[in-house]
Amino acid sequence: MTDRPILVTLPQSHYCEKARWALDRAGVRYQEEPHLVFFHVFANLRRGGKRTTPVLVKDGKTFFDSTDILVHLDRTMGPGSFYPTDPELREEVESLEDELDERFGPHTRRWAYAEVLVNPWRDRLMPVMSRGAPSWQLAVLPVLKPIAWRLLRKGLDATPEGGARSLARIDAVFDQIGRRLEDGRRYLVGDRFTAADLTFAALAAPVVAPPENRAAFPALDELPPTMRAQIDRFRDTPAGQLALRLYREERNRSGPLPPT
Element of type H or E holding 34: strand 31-34
In a shared domain, residues 178 and 245: yes
Domain total in the chain: 2
In a shared domain, residues 157 and 236: yes
Write the DSSP symbol of residue 181.
G
In a shared domain, residues 55 and 97: no
The rounded mean pLDDT for the chain is: 90
pLDDT in tens, 46-95: 666 666 789 999 988 999 899 999 999 999 988 789 999 999 999 999 99
38: left (phi over 0), alpha (psi -120 to 50) or beta: left
DSSP codes of every residue in 57-82:
EETTEEE-SHHHHHHHHHHHH-TTSS
| Local confidence band at 204 (pLDDT 50, 70, 90 cut-offs) | very high
User: Over 90: is that where the pLDDT of 154 sits?
Assistant: no
* Residue 20 belongs to a domain: yes
| Local confidence band at 1 (pLDDT 50, 70, 90 cut-offs) | very low
| Local confidence band at 253 (pLDDT 50, 70, 90 cut-offs) | confident
pTM: 0.91
In a shared domain, residues 206 and 241: yes
> What pLDDT score was predicted for residue 256?
55
In a shared domain, residues 147 and 27: no
In a shared domain, residues 225 and 151: yes
Contact 188, 96 (CB under 8 A): yes
Cα 23 from chain centroid (whole Å): 13
**Residue 49's domain is classified under what CATH number?**
3.40.30.10
In a shared domain, residues 69 and 118: no
In a shared domain, residues 105 and 152: yes
- Residue 15 amino acid letter: Y
- Residue 192's domain comprises 87-250
> What pLDDT score was predicted for residue 53?
84
| Local confidence band at 126 (pLDDT 50, 70, 90 cut-offs) | confident
In a shared domain, residues 54 and 104: no
In a shared domain, residues 97 and 161: yes
Min mean pLDDT across 155-159, 164-168, 178-182, 185-189 is at 155-159
> What pLDDT score was predicted for residue 43?
67
In a shared domain, residues 134 and 222: yes
Q: In whole angstroms, how far apart are CA 211 and each of 1, 215, 220, 251?
A: 29, 10, 10, 10
In a shared domain, residues 199 and 96: yes
Asked if the bond preceding 211 is cis, omega within 30° of 0, the reply is no
End-of-domain residue from the set 17, 47, 77: 77
Q: For residues 111 and 161, give the distance between their C-alpha atoms in angstroms, rounded to a whole number.
A: 10
Rounded to an integer, the average pLDDT of 111-116 is 93
